[in-house]
Structure 1
């Protein structure tokens, strides 16, 4: 195939073809109504203007007026026109100087803190409105390209193509720009030559995976390692000499450490176990014997892999009777070997490390003044006759230890769902019986292009791709390579990359059925329409309100609604920011990467459950249930949850959990790895639950200073000191109260009644004070009362959620003309138990959603 491999000289003609196609199409689209329209400036309230004018005249013009312009700044002629960059910059300077307390200067007539807060708040509001107008398009939904998640999902559904970890276009393409909190807003999704180069490279990889030549390069094989072979194998017989491993006649007993597959399990005819990247079935026959503590035996299966998130394959409790444990996982030659190990309790290992582990535990217990635990650990050391350097296996009683008995390990693969893969059959539908000629090429792309472009296509559009394929055949390429070339051209075309809704009119127009099908599917599925939506569009029935409502209900029940959870849900809840800081491992030993993944998973699974079960969205404020897997349930001290999958769990009556704010991931996000950050948490709450971000802070404004030597002030105490600064008070008093309410959750989301982190340890640490007063004047004593007060602001929450989802659905910032629709959506949610589905139906059935 000419142009298949990036970097080869022959690759450039196809790439130039794709680039020129994109540029020419963009220029033509821009001339027929796709370019962003300038937005009108909203009228500033005359009352506000008069108030600001009086303020400037009273406090500012003396130093910045007609006679004196200190720092070359003149304010007597400053206009409230925030659309002008120069004027907006002056207003920003005024706001920053006032926030910093530098203006008016000492010795001048000073305004009250309330007056300063009123003026700076007005400036911040006007700046936000001006920015939205700049990004807006007079209510029009303007041209945008698919973001990388939508691109990956569309390729998946278009070609029936599954991707291995790290091979999805979503992993290969660079991050998308965001606006208004989402990566679906058109003005943030630009397409430059460097990005088009990346699309070309990704399209080539997709084409190579989608279309295959001949039989599989490596057939499926099964490789097994019987444990009795370990003692005879030079590569791994050393395992039998380990004090924590016992080799028996038909099995291996693990009290610590792990087995290995390397050097024994090899693919036939090769030196390695994994011949090619793909899916593999790993099977282990094993059982367990509980130790003296009666705790279950946990088995872990891991693989060597350069990416940490792909190393752990399985972690599960084993039964007392032999069972076969099976997993199907992606693997590649980079993985090398894999192993099976027993998960020991912390500090309980028969190795040279055990003495050090016990010493560390004793030291920690001593620091916490837990002398009972110190004596218990010392007695255990003496009982097991362990020294600080190494154990005495002849004396240590291993009968008290948990044991994992492994009979055999097995690896089968690479696995193929079918061959040729479904993606191959989707394109080359005729199989081997079709003649490889121009007529067949035309049939292929006549079938393929309408789905790829998500609308009917013209004969000229098909001709263009067929001509390109014919040029490949004329250059000596195989038929499959020629089809690959056509596929690459389609995947790089702006007609594929962009969600097209052409219009040469200056007025709004209704979407046609094909456009509505795409807008609907990319809203709810982050992917292309399916066959049923295409059929309704072709029949001209999709615009019927009853039909459209039925389709929304059907789509909400489809498994592809996961695209909405990963798209809207993840970005609304900001789950991508949960793990921005790694907790200090010395202070928070319970945290690890897998627990961090579970914290993110809880929030997404919770969103999915609220959506699927038609729960009230108010459960994001408070609920008597949450979504847990085994790892997170143990962290929350909730019993009876097993396995890695998330499931709905009713919370104990005395549990502090329930709702978004009680999730460990939210607490982790609102921390810096060492201490909690109430300001950060307060900002998060206002942004997520109410879509009410606070005004921007002045330049270089710190959140809270660390303790100086000799001080032991809590974060709360330092923030309250910070509030005494007049220029900081107004903003912090409307933010900090929300963060203080969450102070019972430490850096990693554990419930605490006493201060921890930083320099606070032990029973003498100060108690947590989670009380406060909300900006509306209502006070709370603790976290439970706080959530009750938030529930009283249900209308504010519903409106904020409606604003967020409408931005996501339309791909543009909201404008004053959207106010009526927002009122309607908020009222509809209140009447229908605040469900997400009622909000989604309301948006889809609105004229705004159905209009270009």
Structure 2
């Protein structure tokens, strides 16, 4: 088997080796001889450019660049020159398509390292997860503070874990050093727990009094009107809130602000946990729902966070309610306050309608009449206007009804209104959930003394290194870290905790930690080119594939016993790992990048064209794609569900957007759908449809290109440099995007490419620019639904299968599910191997597709087949 792999690595099978040459001699060379050689051969070499020397071998220096220049010239139509016979568009497209395919293949093979998995560093997600699990770092610290400190990753083949993109330069190394310093300060503490600082805020300024009257100005005169019932009342020891007096946060529920902001700039000077205490009580009233408090920290800043707590104390017996929040310091000078809201009722108290209807509004009319009469010089009109003014002023002076009163539905039911009483608010911190923190206890136990021995340091390092390096370590490796600790104490005057922090930084910046290292043993013959992974290496490769983190204790234990490589044990471990909550990291990393969820929300629809698009819909759309993938993984469903399914995984906000009834709450759950919902699979997911639009109109070509590249792993050939986009709809034209696209591709060269591409995008035209279902054009200048043109979503796939509706389009795609299965297998294998998949993997890909076919296309057998494959288990 090894000899076969070596042979494949040196030269692909004959069918693969000859395919490019055959296509070149069949489709490309005749075209070049007919249209190019006469000006670009040895005799003329116009512009110093010889095409007759170009062949099918793209590994020759500068050949890819020269071919790219050729197809650019063909695409834009300036070669051959206009005075020459024009090439047949289909022949031109065949050349462009062949060159594009070979360019992609050459780039991919350049990154493959002969089909072997290269040494690679941990990407950002893996680094943070590994530090968290290695040292029991707090999740909030890891996902916020540490996330910003660790440098971002490059991408190759659509993923951030491919070796070719995970380089390390001086700037990144500086960032890793800074991150290691932050981690060591968080992990290793000394002395007793620092005393928390505290800010105490009265619920409101106790010197203020509830106003008894409202001052109103009318036609230049002031009047005092009885204030009536207030939104809040000042008591001797606090404030009784009946209705918000700072406005409401809109959303699925109303949250009325009772505190604009408790200023925390002087308190929150470092990231950490802060204790928030409020002495309060509440009455739920006739509504019955429990009263809740929402703490909103640093709104509209990069460090914003919020938390909701339930208030258990009665209105007549207020007491302390306490919670802890992770708050971040942010940038110097950045304003940071704590806003406090409650889930009261928005419109309990309102202004007196009589005042506005009989006095305030008529006075505005009189003001305009006086101005108009003065301007026109109409003395009689001016006299009448002044008389009306005097009448209104007299009426206003006698107005004794209260300015504020309960809304009609609450009049006489004041005792049934939910109420909140607030006395004092305290914010203190930073505080620790335990002292010493769990990370310190893991490494050094409960002792926090600054005076400890090198023997204790050695014991801590011996315990840490095997897990940090993810393999057994040699005594010399322990000694090197211990030497750093000892030098810190003896040469630099550090105490024990300071020196141990230095030693930990050494570990976290070492290649053995930063890289997934799979060295060739000295005993192995390098000439073999291939070797099996040992059990520790297999444990790491498996864990970073399915969990994006280091192996857990069970994997380490099996590796120590040499049992992990046993096929039965390995299969059971894959099942265990997929059932573990940590597999959500696989969902977020693989599915998030494959479906480009990280880009959802980057296109903002026009608020006037698409008023239904809001923040809650955007956030829900990001979760939907991941939750859908997670359901397929958890339930071991067929991957064909990505093309079409009889269910969605949605919450109330998405159900409302999709026109599906009976779904309540923010929680995502599996929901069965009917044909009339026009949903299923990833097509129609609002996050994806919005991403593949421009905020104003749909873009069928962008949608099509996304489908052929991400679902079928077959990117379209490079477009002409001046290809442009479909033009916007202008008033008077009333043309659908499809009709404008037809005008766009009038150029014969463009038409050949669009004929293969556009059907995938035009089939989705029933989904508008935010994924809402439609049968007529909308958005842009289609303001009148009655006059908007009907949509035509019919087409024909390159295979010849025709469709006239979205449902028929999905049927056509499912008829070609083996093509999708091959593409999905290639994507997942690329992710698993951390390298591009190329010609050396043709047999592996065939085996993976066979595994899918034999198991009704279910996803878990595919993952098992990848883990069992020779490329995954060898170096």
TM-score by length of 2: 0.80
What does 1:673-822 correspond to in 2, within 5 Å?
Answer: 673-707=695-729, 710-763=732-785, 764-822=787-845
- Cα distance in 2, alignment partners of residues 488 and 827 from structure 1: 47
Structure 2 residue 42 is the aligned partner of structure 1 residue 47 = no
Greater shift in the superposed pair: 191-200 or 590-599: 590-599
Instruction: Indicate conservation of the 8 Å contact 2:795/2:802, yes or no.
Output: yes
- CA offsets 1:424-445 (integer angstroms, 9 cap, x no match): 0111036369971111111110
Which residue matches 1:483? Answer: 500
Q: Does the residue aligned with 1:692 lie in a helix, a strand or coil?
A: coil
Which residue matches 2:436? Answer: 420
Instruction: Indicate conservation of the 8 Å contact 1:274/1:331, yes or no.
Output: no
- Cα distance in 2, alignment partners of residues 778 and 620 from structure 1: 20
Instruction: Indicate conservation of the 8 Å contact 1:452/1:496, yes or no.
Output: yes
Which residue matches 1:10? Answer: none
How far residue 112 of structure 1 moved from its aligned partner, in angstroms, is 2.1
Label 1:279 to 1:272 Cα distance change in 2 as closer, same or farther (>3 A).
closer
- Cα distance in 2, alignment partners of residues 437 and 431 from structure 1: 12
Determine which of 150, 156, 164 is the counterpart of 1:173: 150
Label 1:325 to 1:90 Cα distance change in 2 as closer, same or farther (>3 A).
farther
Which residue matches 1:532? Answer: 554
Structure 2 residue 518 is the aligned partner of structure 1 residue 501 = yes
What does 1:314-463 correspond to in 2, within 5 Å?
Answer: 314=308, 329-332=325-328, 335-340=336-341, 394=403, 398-400=407-409, 405-408=419-422, 416-429=432-445, 431=447, 436-463=452-479
Instruction: Indicate conservation of the 8 Å contact 1:135/1:813, yes or no.
Output: yes
How far residue 459 of structure 1 moved from its aligned partner, in angstroms, is 1.0
- CA offsets 1:823-850 (integer angstroms, 9 cap, x no match): 1111111221222211110010111110
Q: How many correspondences in the alignment?
A: 769
Q: Does the residue aligned with 2:873 lie in a helix, a strand or coil?
A: coil
How far residue 205 of structure 1 moved from its aligned partner, in angstroms, is 0.3
Structure 2 residue 582 is the aligned partner of structure 1 residue 560 = yes
Which residue matches 1:194? Answer: 171
Label 1:393 to 1:656 Cα distance change in 2 as closer, same or farther (>3 A).
farther
- Cα distance in 2, alignment partners of residues 155 and 560 from structure 1: 15
Q: Does the residue aligned with 1:260 lie in a helix, a strand or coil?
A: strand
How far residue 594 of structure 1 moved from its aligned partner, in angstroms, is 3.4
- Cα distance in 2, alignment partners of residues 290 and 61 from structure 1: 88
Determine which of 197, 207, 231 is the counterpart of 1:245: 231
Label 1:236 to 1:394 Cα distance change in 2 as closer, same or farther (>3 A).
closer
TM-score by length of 1: 0.82
Which residue matches 2:110? Answer: 134
Q: Does the residue aligned with 1:431 lie in a helix, a strand or coil?
A: coil
- Cα distance in 2, alignment partners of residues 420 and 676 from structure 1: 56
Label 1:136 to 1:314 Cα distance change in 2 as closer, same or farther (>3 A).
same
Label 1:395 to 1:93 Cα distance change in 2 as closer, same or farther (>3 A).
same
Give the CA RMSD over aligned residues. 3.9
Structure 2 residue 872 is the aligned partner of structure 1 residue 849 = yes
- Cα distance in 1, alignment partners of residues 263 and 49 from structure 2: 77
- Cα distance in 2, alignment partners of residues 784 and 739 from structure 1: 14
Label 1:110 to 1:242 Cα distance change in 2 as closer, same or farther (>3 A).
farther
- Cα distance in 2, alignment partners of residues 682 and 64 from structure 1: 36
- Cα distance in 2, alignment partners of residues 497 and 107 from structure 1: 61
- Cα distance in 1, alignment partners of residues 194 and 321 from structure 2: 28
- Cα distance in 2, alignment partners of residues 316 and 416 from structure 1: 23
- Cα distance in 2, alignment partners of residues 237 and 627 from structure 1: 52
Where in structure 2 are there 5+ consecutive unaligned residues?
1-7, 215-226, 249-255, 330-334, 358-400, 411-415
Which residue matches 1:834? Answer: 857
- Cα distance in 2, alignment partners of residues 785 and 326 from structure 1: 57
How far residue 67 of structure 1 moved from its aligned partner, in angstroms, is 3.2
What does 1:98-109 correspond to in 2, within 5 Å?
Answer: 98-109=74-85
How far residue 177 of structure 1 moved from its aligned partner, in angstroms, is 0.7
Which residue matches 2:257? Answer: 259
Greater shift in the superposed pair: 756-765 or 800-809: 756-765
- Cα distance in 2, alignment partners of residues 677 and 296 from structure 1: 47
Instruction: Indicate conservation of the 8 Å contact 1:244/1:351, yes or no.
Output: no
Structure 2 residue 161 is the aligned partner of structure 1 residue 152 = no
Determine which of 519, 527, 537 is the counterpart of 1:515: 537
How far residue 335 of structure 1 moved from its aligned partner, in angstroms, is 3.9
- Cα distance in 1, alignment partners of residues 11 and 229 from structure 2: 78
Instruction: Indicate conservation of the 8 Å contact 1:148/1:169, yes or no.
Output: no
- Cα distance in 1, alignment partners of residues 779 and 445 from structure 2: 62
Structure with higher Rg: it is 2
Which residue matches 1:72? Answer: 48
- CA offsets 1:247-289 (integer angstroms, 9 cap, x no match): 48774122654333468x799xx97699963265688866767
Q: Does the residue aligned with 1:50 lie in a helix, a strand or coil?
A: helix
- Cα distance in 2, alignment partners of residues 317 and 144 from structure 1: 51
Structure 2 residue 114 is the aligned partner of structure 1 residue 113 = no
Which residue matches 1:33? Answer: none
Instruction: Indicate conservation of the 8 Å contact 1:254/1:341, yes or no.
Output: no
Q: Does the residue aligned with 2:54 lie in a helix, a strand or coil?
A: coil
- CA offsets 1:686-721 (integer angstroms, 9 cap, x no match): 222222211121213212123456533222211111
Structure 2 residue 298 is the aligned partner of structure 1 residue 304 = yes
Greater shift in the superposed pair: 48-57 or 624-633: 624-633
Structure 2 residue 273 is the aligned partner of structure 1 residue 278 = yes
Determine which of 220, 232, 241 is the counterpart of 2:206: 232
Instruction: Indicate conservation of the 8 Å contact 2:470/2:551, yes or no.
Output: yes
- Cα distance in 1, alignment partners of residues 293 and 82 from structure 2: 69
- Cα distance in 2, alignment partners of residues 295 and 780 from structure 1: 51
Which residue matches 2:388? Answer: none
Q: Does the residue aligned with 2:62 lie in a helix, a strand or coil?
A: helix
